Structure 1
Amino acid sequence: MEHESRTETASRAAAPATGRPLRDVRTFWRILLAVITPLPLLAQALYHLLMPGPADGDFAATLDMVAGGQGTVGALQWVGAVFTITLIPATCTVAWVARRGAPRLATAGALLSLLGFLASALMPNDHLIALVTLEEGLDRGAATALDQALWANPVVSAASGLWILGLTIGLALLGAALWRSRVAPAWMGIALMIAGPTHPFIPGQIGSAAGLAVGAVGMAGAGVALLRMRDDEFDLPPGRRSQA
């Protein structure tokens, strides 16, 4: 009797659900991710372009720069939030889209990029620290000492190294995967492949913003691929609600 009960339970578990079909939201996710993919690098391009001036030098120079445009720097923190919020899903989307045509490149690029981008959460935001210091009337000397101590911390130093690795090598590999997979125009994958390792080293605000914009166009290639896909190519359909 016990054996028969176990057999019946196993049979019910293995049988396909035959109840009411669940709502299919694949189109929603496909379009949402297509919209998200260019946003992080585009937001960062605007952040660099609209910043009142370059913060070349130490934290004292950053304080002086922020003091000359507190309103602009404060507004740009919302633009920076768009970059932070959308960077991980956009990176995952590029890897997801390219994974079938270039599985190893997409995997390597995703691992390096996501490792660096997640580690960047440990890095201080000098502009925000300077802005809060000025808005709250905090002691400049104490804020400068805090900023220097944060950047000297070994955890922050390691996070900075991982960030550069993900930004340069990781994005370059994802660009190569997008190009090799042929799911989007080849030039879009090449744009990401080139912009990833080069844009952090382009001098000047305009040059840096232009490099990021090229990278945003490259990441948009994944969005183009998603819009071209049918839902069945994007993901498996939903199951059915099991009947009691």
Structure 2
Amino acid sequence: MSTETAVTPPIVKTRKDLRGFWRILLAVLAPLPMLGMGLAYILSPVDGGVSFEDTVAAYTGHLDQVRLTQYLGLPFLVLLIPATFAVVWVSRRGAPRLTTAGAILALLGQLAGFPLNQGGDLLAYATAKHHLDLATMTTLQTKLEEDPIALLGGLLFIVGIVFGLLLLGVALWRSKAAPAVFGILLAIGGFTHPFMPGHVAAGLGLLVTAAGYAGASLALLRMSNDQFDLPPL
């Protein structure tokens, strides 16, 4: 006489699907870095590229305004890399080669530029606010700018913005992930930004770039979770 043993089916743990969270998060943050920095440029009391002494003089009478521009620039420093990744993610299937080339240039420039390129904005602000010795702080800023590591970081960052975003804009356009106008805006905004005359024009150029990044937002909001990524195991 045989005895049958009941087999208990294995318990399968269902992992929470967070694809929708990541898709919406990337869509929301994609335009924020360039939008914030564009407004910061427009509201700045001084043009970029002027001497450290002139920057301190302009900051002295506008400390609150300068502080506001620094807060507006925070999304640029914190979120530009994931925002660029959002463009890469939506373009990678429709234009894999262009997206790869643009991603390498743009992300390399951003990853190198942020830690290596020591900008003088905070130094000028501290000098103006705390009445630090102008000659000493000017010498310090000059030495920081002339350091080979800072020069390399600045070069890589400019290459990433000018050529990396140009390629990503073309990739976004060619991928058909978003309407072509968004890719064109991203390409034009990134490529022309360093050559815009005056802080207002430079800021408007960054707003154009932000509109290009918004193309990735539109594409992410349009796609399903299955189009965005594979489900959890």
Aligned to 1:114: 107
1:85 and 2:78 matched:
yes
Aligned runs of 1:1-244 on 2, under 5 Å?
Answer: 19-121=12-114, 122-239=116-233
- Cα gap change, 1:56 to 1:117, in 2 (>3 Å): closer
1:99 deviation in Å? 0.3
1:189 deviation in Å? 0.5
CA distance in 1, matches of 2:159, 2:136: 31
CA distance in 2, matches of 1:55, 1:226: 34
AA in 2 matched with 1:132: A
AA in 1 matched with 2:174: R
1:160 deviation in Å? 1.0
CA distance in 2, matches of 1:33, 1:224: 10
1:130 deviation in Å? 0.9
Which 10-residue stretch deviates more, 141-150 or 205-214?
205-214
CA distance in 2, matches of 1:35, 1:145: 41
CA distance in 1, matches of 2:74, 2:211: 20
1:166 deviation in Å? 0.3
The two structures have a TM-score, normalised by structure 2, of 0.92
- Cα gap change, 1:18 to 1:219, in 2 (>3 Å): farther
Residues 100-140 of structure 1 show CA distances to partners (whole Å, capped at 9, x for unaligned) of 00001001001000111111121122221011122233221
Aligned to 1:10: none
The unaligned stretches of length 5 or more in structure 1 are: 1-16, 240-244
The two structures have a TM-score, normalised by structure 1, of 0.88
Which 10-residue stretch deviates more, 204-213 or 58-67?
204-213
Aligned to 1:9: none
Question: Does the CA contact (< 8 Å) of 1:38 and 1:90 recur in 2?
Answer: yes
CA distance in 2, matches of 1:53, 1:169: 26
Question: Does the CA contact (< 8 Å) of 2:48 and 2:199 recur in 1?
Answer: no
1:18 deviation in Å? 5.6
AA in 2 matched with 1:139: D
Residues 187-208 of structure 1 show CA distances to partners (whole Å, capped at 9, x for unaligned) of 1111111111112211122211
**Root mean square deviation, CA, Å:** 1.3
How many residue pairs match? The answer is: 223
CA distance in 2, matches of 1:129, 1:28: 38
Aligned to 2:6: none
AA in 1 matched with 2:232: P
CA distance in 2, matches of 1:210, 1:130: 24
SS of alignment partner, residue 73 of structure 2: helix
SS of alignment partner, residue 91 of structure 1: helix
Name segments (4+ residues, structure 1) moved above 4 Å.
none
